[in-house]
């Protein structure tokens, strides 16, 4: 049990896909102008990651090594199509707001990276723990970025107006604000990870 | 002609893939360590983007659409791009070893470059014709080149600049990208 908890928490901070490994950045900055988009993208991504990791680790002994990459791509693309169609049907507004970024889940390096480095070699249970941890790690960063950007840029929290008109900082809802908030978040997580390491060293 | 120029300029500057639309950030951060590498990568991206658009556009219009298979768009496009990259790699290795040496390493990385897939999806969503699509592809790839080379130049300066300790490493790159992005924001409204 301990092992699964370790695998699960690994993705949240220590090996956070966005802030530490720095893969799968594109979608995280583009859609995070409000919280609903951030959560939607996080859930879509976690679903594709979970399903692809489970399927690939189930069939890992059947997939020949030499054609594994095309096989992975087909599996990932199939689940992305499912997410795309489901979102188009049930949450059309969200699907429209994210536009091309839903199909782009296919080429999100997080999924390809985890599938290749992890679930192709590990058991199904390991893969489930890993994908949920990575998915959650991705989602919390998205939420954090979008909370900051929505609050400072539009003066809103979850769509409710908090800051009166005229006191918003438009910079944060523009593209440069995305880069800037992300830079500060990386800096914070690097500092936290360093602090944790120091503490571990003293023990 | 005027329209094509408009499409090209707006794809390259106003809607710059990297700095305004946040597409293809991974190579933007990973490949910009020195100018030479970034030029090699950009060349490969330009080549594959144009080729991929020239293949997927007719495929969507003449195969998927008449047969009502639009829901297979994601699957077919990514497969076409992946196999195209493989083919190009084989071809270059065999017949143009010098060129292969220059951009071979980047070709393998390109399948997962979001810019290419994004372009092929964009041209369908925007309802462009064939010539417009190709122009758009070239524009996006030039925009990618521009931003990548700019960042690579900035990175060489950052190496000798006094950076605040809490921003050392990657955070300063994103701050630089934010400033670049802000300056590209100045192009907005250039074309109506």
When pLDDT is averaged across residues A137-152 and rounded to a whole number, the result is 90
3-state secondary structure of A161: strand
Q: Can you tell me which residue has the tokens 């782009």?
A: A104
Contact A25 B25 (CB under 8 A): yes
Max Cα separation, chain A?
A: 61
Closest CA to A49 of A131, A122, A116, A129: A131
For tokens 């192709």, what's the residue?
A120
B52 located within any domain: yes
Contact B112 A78 (CB under 8 A): no
Q: Is the CB of B82 less than 8 angstroms away from the CB of A70?
A: yes
Tell me whether residue B190 is in a domain: no
Residue B176 lies in a domain: yes
Rounded to the nearest angstrom, the minimum Cα separation between A68 and chain B is 13
Residue-range domain boundaries for chain A = 2-143
Q: Which of A26, A20, A38 is nearest to A139 (CA)?
A: A38
C-beta atoms of A175 and B173 within 8 A: no
B154 to chain A, any CB pair closer than 8 A? The answer is no
Q: Given the structure tokens 């680790």, which residue do they identify? A: A57
Please state, in angstroms and rounded to a whole number, the distance separating the CA atoms of residues A87 and A120: 28
Q: What does the pLDDT look like over B57-87, one tens digit per residue?
A: 999 999 998 998 888 888 899 888 888 888 8
Residue B78 CA to residue B74 CA, distance in Å, equals: 6
Helix-, strand-, coil-residue percentages of chain A, each rounded to 5? 80, 0, 20
Q: How many Cβ atoms sit within 10 Å of the Cβ of residue A136?
A: 17
Q: Does B5 touch chain A (CB under 8 A)?
A: no
Q: Which two tokens stand for residue A56?
A: 């690939």
Mean pLDDT rounded to a whole number for chain B: 86
The total number of residues written for chain B in this structure:
192
Asked if residue B114 lies in contact with residue A26, where contact means CB atoms within 8 angstroms, the answer is yes
Q: What is the percent of chain A with per-residue pLDDT over 70, rounded to a whole number? A: 99
Spatial contact of A139 and A16, defined as CB atoms under 8 Å apart = no
B181 lies within 8 A of chain A by CB: yes
| Predicted confidence (pLDDT) per residue in A9-56, tens digit | 887 878 888 888 777 787 778 888 888 888 999 999 999 999 999 999
B119 part of a folded domain: yes
Rg (CA), chain B: 18
Number of structural domains, chain B?
Answer: 1
pLDDT tens per residue, range B120-157 = 998 998 889 999 999 999 999 999 999 999 999 998 88
**Closest CA–CA distance from residue A1 to any residue of chain B (Å):** 34
Nearest beta carbon to residue A176 from set B117, B167, B181: B181
Q: Residue B105: pLDDT band by 50, 70, 90 thresholds?
A: low
For residue A157, the model assigns a pLDDT of: 82
Three-state SS letters, chain B: CHHHHHHHHHHHHHCCCCCCCCCCHHHHHHCCCCHHHHHHHHHHHHHHHHHHHHHHHHHHHHHHCCCCCHHHHHHHHHHHHHHHHHHHHHHHHHHCHHHHHHHHHHHHHHCCCHHHHHHHHHHHHCCCCHHHHHHHHHHHHHHHHHHHHHHHHHHHHHCCCCCCHHHCCHHHHHHHHHHHHHHHHCCCCCCC
Judge whether B191 lies within some domain. no
Does B192 fall in a domain?
no
User: What gap in Å lies between CA B192 and CA B178, rounded to an integer?
Assistant: 25
B39 touches chain A (CB under 8 A): no
State which residues form the domain around B177: 2-185
Q: Is residue B131 classed exposed, middle or buried when 0-12, 13-18 and 19+ CB atoms within 10 A define those classes?
A: exposed
Q: What per-residue confidence (pLDDT) applies to A50?
A: 94
Q: Tokens 């979102």 correspond to what residue?
A: A87
Residues of A in contact with B19 (CB under 8 A): 175
What are the structure tokens assigned to B26, written together? 């991974």
Looking at beta carbons, which residues of chain A come within 8 Å of B173?
183
Q: How far A43 CA lies from chain B's nearest CA (Å)? A: 19
Tokens standing for residue A164: 């009166």
Distance CA B99, CA A20 (A): 34
CB within 8 Å: A77 and B21:
no
**Interface ipTM:** 0.83
Give yes or no for a contact between A110 and A44, defined as CB atoms under 8 angstroms apart: no
Q: What is the pLDDT of residues A166-203, one digit of tens each?
A: 788 888 888 888 899 999 988 988 888 888 888 875 54
Q: Which of A84, A108, A109 sits opposite B74 (nearest CB)?
A: A84
pLDDT (0 to 100) of residue B192: 62
In tens, the pLDDT along B3-32 reads 888 889 888 888 888 888 888 887 788 777
CA distances to A74, A149, B88 from A17, in Å: 22, 20, 31
Q: Does B66 touch chain A (CB under 8 A)?
A: no
């Amino acid at each position: 049990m301990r092992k699964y908890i370790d695998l699960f928490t690994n993705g949240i901070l220590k090996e956070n896909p966005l802030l530490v490994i720095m893969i799968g950045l594109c979608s995280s900055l583009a859609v995070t102008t409000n919280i609903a988009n951030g959560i939607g993208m996080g859930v879509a991504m976690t679903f594709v990651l979970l399903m692809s990791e489970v399927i690939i680790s189930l069939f890992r002994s059947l997939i020949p090594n030499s054609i594994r990459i095309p096989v992975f791509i087909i599996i990932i693309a199939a689940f992305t199509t499912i997410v795309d169609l489901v979102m188009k049907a049930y949450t059309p507004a969200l699907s429209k707001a994210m536009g091309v970024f839903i199909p782009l889940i296919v080429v999100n390096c997080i999924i390809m990276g985890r599938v290749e480095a992890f679930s192709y070699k590990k058991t199904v249970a390991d893969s489930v723990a890993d994908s949920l941890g990575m998915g959650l790690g991705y989602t919390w960063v998205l939420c954090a970025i979008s909370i900051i950007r929505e609050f400072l840029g539009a003066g809103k929290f979850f769509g409710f107006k908090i800051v009166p008109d005229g006191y918003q900082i438009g910079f944060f809802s523009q593209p440069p604000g995305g880069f800037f908030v992300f830079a500060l978040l990386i800096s914070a997580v690097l500092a936290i990870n360093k602090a944790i390491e120091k503490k571990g060293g003293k023990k | 002609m005027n329209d094509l120029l408009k499409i090209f300029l707006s794809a390259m500057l106003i809607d710059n893939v990297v700095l305004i639309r946040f597409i293809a950030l991974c190579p933007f951060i990973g490949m910009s360590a020195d100018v030479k590498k970034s030029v090699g990568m950009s060349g490969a991206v330009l080549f594959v983007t144009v080729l991929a658009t020239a293949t997927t556009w007719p495929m969507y219009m003449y195969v998927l659409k008449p047969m009502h298979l639009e829901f297979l768009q994601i699957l077919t496009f990514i497969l076409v791009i992946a196999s195209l990259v493989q083919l190009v790699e084989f071809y270059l290795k065999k017949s143009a070893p010098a060129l292969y040496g220059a951009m071979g390493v980047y070709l393998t990385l390109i399948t997962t470059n979001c810019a290419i897939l994004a372009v092929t999806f964009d041209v369908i969503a925007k309802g462009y014709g064939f010539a417009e699509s190709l122009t758009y592809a070239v524009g996006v790839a030039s925009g990618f080149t521009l931003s990548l080379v700019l960042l690579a130049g900035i990175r060489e300066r950052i190496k000798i600049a006094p950076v605040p300790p809490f921003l050392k490493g990657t955070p300063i790159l994103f701050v630089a990208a934010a400033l670049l992005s802000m300056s590209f924001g100045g192009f907005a409204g250039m074309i109506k």
